[in-house]
Chain A
Amino acid sequence: MRNLPVKGPLLFLIMVFVPFFLSIFYVNLLTEIFILGVFALSLNILVGQTGMVSLGHAAFFGAGAYAAGLAAIHVSTNTFLSIAAGLLAAFLLAVIIGLFSTKANGFYFLMLTLACSQIVYSIIYQWRTVTGGSNGLTGIAPIDLGANIVLSNQVWVYYFILVVFTIVLFLINRFLHSPLGSVLIGIRENEERMKSIGYNTALYKNISFIIAGTLGGLSGSLYVIFNGFISPAEVYWTASGSVLIMVLIGGAGTLWGPVIGAAFIVILETLISSYMENWMMIIGAVFIIFVIFAPDGMVGIFNALKKFFVQPKKLEVDADEPIIKPIKQETKMDG
């Protein structure tokens, strides 16, 4: 998983040639996977890396999408302006929500993020004159890259989003195991101990929240560039639940897990929703199966299989028991 720099370029090259072989239906499917991949990658910083389980991440997707759409309608159709507006809106929202939600832990954090995102949802839903209310934001013109390069062709949109996705993946690959990234991992492992070794954990939890929220806004603005439309449904709490499931099914805390989870859910949704109304129910069932049988997600299954088949010799040593056996020892005293 960590040697992305070696495998990454090959994968990127394959993706560059995909539009030559697959129909536009599949190209659009891949575009959607990349967009939701960025969304899931952003939530993974919070959930997988810092250990803060949020059920309100759709608020940032929505903030990014609406801000990007509004910028395109009212200011200019320049892509970079739209994305900048989306990033800024999500950043500001993350600063505000982060300020008080990161003070809570565990279940209370989850409930607070859920409540905040539902407030964002109802503002969007009710502020008809600006957001179009339940009809969504319509009339977003095709986005251009400046210098009259209009992204009207879906294949060009695919390429543009592929590039953004690749940059995000590249940066997150570095960030995940960077010194700052390991501070977040340390907080996930033992926040009190991190304070004791000199880290202002409240600050780092806020930083994590802001990075995750801002990147969530990026995915929202990509969605608007791709779709030309955004509705409150994408900001509803079920959207937050869906991206959380992507992270958990794929493999929280890993680099590729969220992307794999996003691909899995997008493909599943496409397959099921064409002949079933309640596809969310199926996804819920799949999720429960994962929680019970594969808590480390698809990346966890993949690693286990790799261990089993690729390194059969090492297995004798690696199996079940650690080499150094933990000695169960009673501490005599209370702490």
Chain B
Amino acid sequence: MEKDKILSLKGLSKHFGGIKVIEHVSLDVTAGERVGLIGPNGAGKSTLFNMIAGDLEPSGGTIHYYGDRINSMPNYKRTQKGIVRTFQKNNLMMGLTVRENILLVLQRINQKHTQWWKQATPGNYQLLFEHAGSLLHEWGLEEYSQTKVKDLSYGVQRQIEMIMAIAGNPKLLLLDEPTAGMSQVETDQIISLINKLPVEVTIMMIEHDVDVLFGNTDRVIVLHAGTLIADGSPEQVRENPEVKEIYMGKEVIANA
């Protein structure tokens, strides 16, 4: 079943100077899986995502995507091939409107991004604008369509991050704490929208709210000090003594 394996990490490591932030992490992800990634603050979760997305080069080990080694593939090419990510800290084109941000994704997906001879108006690019409108409608954010991103609250910006990722036709979606800094209502909305994504989309999600994560994933991976210490169903991981130790012991649960 090689071709079902969308992502395969073998002995992946990342060292910053002498500090081993990720140490020999190996794991396989099957297409369509919903994988949760937990671990204390500083465990290396975001660093792992950075390597999968191509924002950081691994110090050792390999990354295979659909069987191809992608260690040295630049991040934009990985995105074009379906590895789409969100960031832990909002990272958007802040001076542009919400719609302009989304259109930047949609125009590339629809191969319109090299057209220079007509203005990007609803009349000239009806399908793109309708698509952007329907995404905003689905998330209940139409009212902000023409608002500059920098004028929006952190929580709304967070949702724009999600919309842009989903608009990018992901095959492997990497969500880095999608609900960080959001209200309970916003969190519930994001989780329900994530659950509505097509079943073939593979999702890896870092989440500090353990309850949210255990209730919405098929599989949970635990990182601790750069190493993978547990990998299994939410039930298995919940009962894992080492995980219990970390989460109940002296260590602080991320964002507890």
Contact = CB atoms under 8 A, between A and B. Distances in A.
Interface of A: 2, 171, 173-183, 185-186, 189-190, 192-201, 322-335
A175 B118 CA distance: 7
Interface of B: 41-42, 46, 53, 55, 74-77, 79-80, 85, 87-89, 91-96, 100, 103-105, 107-108, 112-121, 125, 144, 147-148, 150-156, 164, 168, 177, 180-181, 208, 254-255
A196 B75 contact: yes
Contacts of A327: 153-155
B120 A177 contact: yes
A174 B89 contact: no
B79 A198 contact: yes
Given A183-B104, A186-B104, A327-B155, A175 B85 contact: no
B210 to A, nearest CB: 15
Contact of A175 (B100, B117, B152): B117
Nearest to A180: B116
Given A174-B117, A189-B94, A194 B104 contact: yes
A185 B113 CA distance: 12
B114 A180 contact: yes
B108 to A, nearest CB: 5
A316 B23 CA distance: 57
Given A324-B153, A329-B154, A332-B255, A178 B94 contact: no
Contacts of A201: 76
Contacts of B180: 331-333
Contact of B88 (A174, A177, A322, A331): A331
A41 to B, nearest CB: 15
A53 B143 CA distance: 35
Nearest to A190: B93
A255 to B, nearest CB: 11
Nearest to A201: B76
A41 B147 CA distance: 28
Contact of A324 (B41, B108, B147): B147
Contacts of A183: 104, 113
Contacts of B114: 179-180
B154 A175 contact: no
A86 B150 CA distance: 42
Given A200-B76, A324-B147, A335-B88, A186 B116 contact: no
Contacts of A333: 41, 88, 177, 180, 208, 254-255
A19 B51 CA distance: 64
Contacts of B75: 195-196
A173 B87 CA distance: 34
A313 B85 CA distance: 43
Closest 5 CB pairs of A and B: A198-B79, A322-B151, A189-B93, A180-B116, A335-B89
B234 to A, nearest CB: 22
Contacts of A328: 154
A324 B255 contact: no
A182 B103 contact: yes
B108 A197 contact: yes
Contacts of A173: 119
A179 B91 contact: no
Contacts of A180: 113-116
A196 B53 contact: yes
B168 A332 contact: no
A243 B153 CA distance: 39
A314 to B, nearest CB: 14
B102 to A, nearest CB: 10
Given A331-B89, A334-B46, 11 more contacts: A179-B103, A180-B114, A190-B92, A194-B93, A196-B87, A322-B147, A326-B153, A327-B153, A327-B154, A329-B155, A333-B255
